[in-house]
Amino acid sequence: MFNISTSVLAVILGGGAGTRLYPLTASRSKPAVPIAGKYRLVDIPISNCINSNINRMFVLTQFNSASLNKHIKNTYQFNSFSTGFVDILAAEQTPDNPGWFQGTADAVRQSLRHIYNFDFEHLLILSGDQLYQMDFQAMINDHRARGADISIATIPVTDRDASDFGILKVDEEGLISSFIEKPKKELLPEWVSDTGEEMQGVGRNYLASMGIYIFNRSTLQQILKGDFPDYPDFGKEIIPQSISRYRVASYQYDGYWTDIGNIYSFFEANIALTKDIPEFNLFDRTKTIFTRARMLPPAKISGPAIHNSIIVEGSIILGSKISNSVIGIRARIGKGTSIESAYVMGNDFYETLETIELKRQSGIPELGIGEDCFINNAIIDKNCRIGHGVRINGSTDLENTDHPLYTIKDGIVVVKKGAVLENGFTIG
């Protein structure tokens, strides 16, 4: 009898340097980036696994991994009567592999000697920088029902988005017959698929790879060590080459999914959580998002008009207005401050009253956001000190730039982690 908890092992890819998410990735890896005020991106795939009764997971890390390692160590601890684990597999140099991870497939290939120490029938490979809620058990059941060697989770996309993904077509058995990586606009008419009446009704006519894979144990070993021992990447090389050799199935997912690939998509995904009925539902008890448990006081709010916003525990908010914004853990917002369409990540610690007084005497702003500020279209990274009367107004009229204290990308102002903005500082 098939038992998913003992038959499936998951590998979550920690990603590369994450340059498109800079400066959020200046000192942390992409999966460690805070999202929704209290979570980390890596919590999403781990939670999806737990909710799907998959409790044996490896997280493969390489770049800026210290904070990610600490978060996983402090968060995911199964009891002594469980076989579950979330373990870190860091890139390591060995006599056989003197180099670092060169791509998604190479990361798994170099980790096989650890992975194959465990019994499993199927390996589930996930990305650590996507936002979605998916039942992997349904995908694995589909994989087994089709007798597939490899399955790829796919999602219908529009012609506007298709050129950013690997696009595929399937035959009548649901097996992938052809695949193209990031097709040019003029090639798209050849790649239209029957995605279903509902998806076609909103113009989502192309099947895009989500970067979520299932491999049978024997197939994985043969592909990575035998067939394609030098190919570093799944999406660009191994998957296209495997279609003619193996039964490669498509599992179509029609729910909410977004790839956190750049500052704009990250910002939009967070602000979208403030809608009355967001597509990504943090309140669904059957799809709980797990994270580190913190023993913090409730948020304290006095004075502001709050509209469509998320306020995380431990915050102290005295501002005048908060609208369409996410206010993160331990955030402090002073009197008279207005925040619109912003993600304030909050702080890793509280300052003592003695420390606050010493900072004031030295002319250094307190941890958090001061009084009479205006913040719009911005991301305030953790542990920033923003003085009184600061104005940050992101807009598409601003040129992309990288300043020692902030970065502007696609009209979004990102105040860097730990930055200090003096009284009256203005951006935009």
Q: DSSP letter string over 42-111?
A: THHHHHHHHHTT--EEEEEE-SS-HHHHHHHHHH----TT---EEEEEE----SS--S---SHHHHHHHH
pLDDT (mean) for 241-260: 94
Tokens 């990610």, residue located: 68
Residue 65 contacts residue 90 (beta carbons within 8 Å): yes
Going from N- to C-terminal start, the domains of the chain cover 4-272, 297-427
pTM score = 0.93
Note the CATH architecture for domain 297-427.
Answer: 3 Solenoid (2.160)
What pLDDT, on the 0 to 100 scale, is given for residue 236?
Answer: 84
- Residue 340 has which token pair? 């619109």
Tell me the mean pLDDT in the region 253-259: 92
The dihedral sign for the CA sequence 409, 413, 418, 423: positive
Q: Which of 285-294, 323-332, 386-395 has the lowest mean pLDDT?
A: 285-294
Alpha helices in 275-417 (DSSP H): 353-361
Please name the helix (run of DSSP H) or strand (run of DSSP E) that holds residue 269, with its range, or none.
helix 263-272
Question: Cα separation of 322 and 110, whole Å?
Answer: 48
Each residue of 136-186: pLDDT tens digit? 999 999 999 999 999 999 999 999 899 989 999 999 999 999 999 889 999
Mean pLDDT of 7-15: 91
Distance CA 269, CA 281 (A): 12
User: How high is the mean pLDDT of the chain?
Assistant: 92
At residue 252, the pLDDT reads 96
pLDDT digits (tens, 9 = 90+) for 338-347: 999 999 999 9
Of the pLDDT bands very low, low, confident and very high (cuts 50, 70, 90), residue 312 is very high
- The whole-number pLDDT of residue 265 equals 93
Distance, in Å, from the CA atom of 317 to the CA atom of 340, rounded to the nearest integer, reads: 14
Q: How far apart are CA 142 and CA 34, in angstroms?
A: 33
Nearest CA-CA partner of 331 in 390, 372, 381, 377: 381
Contact 43, 289 (CB under 8 A): yes
pLDDT of 65-121, one tens digit each? Answer: 788 889 999 999 888 778 899 998 877 656 666 666 778 888 898 888 899 999 999
Instruction: Look at residue 65 in the predicted model and tell me its pLDDT.
Output: 79
Burial code (b: 16+ CB inside 10 Å, e: under 16) for 162-199 equals beebbbbbbeeebbbeebbeebeeeebeebebebeeeb
Which residues are within 8 A (CB) of 216 and not within 5 positions of it... i.e. 6 or more apart? 121, 122, 148, 149, 150
Percent of the chain surpassing pLDDT 90 = 74
The answer to whether the peptide bond before residue 23 is cis (omega within 30 degrees of 0) is yes
The confidence score (pLDDT) of residue 77 equals 87
Query: Quick one: pLDDT band at residue 1, thresholds 50, 70, 90?
Result: low
pLDDT at site 96: 65
Q: Would you give the distance in Å from CA 419 to the centre of its chain?
A: 24
310-311/326-329 β-pairing: parallel
What pLDDT shows up at residue 100? 65
Asked if 112 and 241 count as a contact pair (C-beta separation under 8 A), the reply is no
pLDDT the model gives residue 410: 94
Residue 17: is its pLDDT beyond 70? no
| 22-47: average pLDDT | 94
Which tens digit of pLDDT belongs to each residue from 173-227? 999 999 998 899 999 999 999 999 999 999 999 999 999 999 999 999 999 998 9
pLDDT of residue 92: 63
Q: For the chain, how far is it from start to end, CA to CA, in angstroms?
A: 62
What's the average model confidence in pLDDT over 256-282?
94
Residue 111 pLDDT: 85
The whole-number average pLDDT for the span 391-403 is 96
Asked if CATH classification 3.90.550.10 holds for the domain at 4-272, the reply, yes or no, is yes
Q: For residue 81, what pLDDT is reported?
A: 78
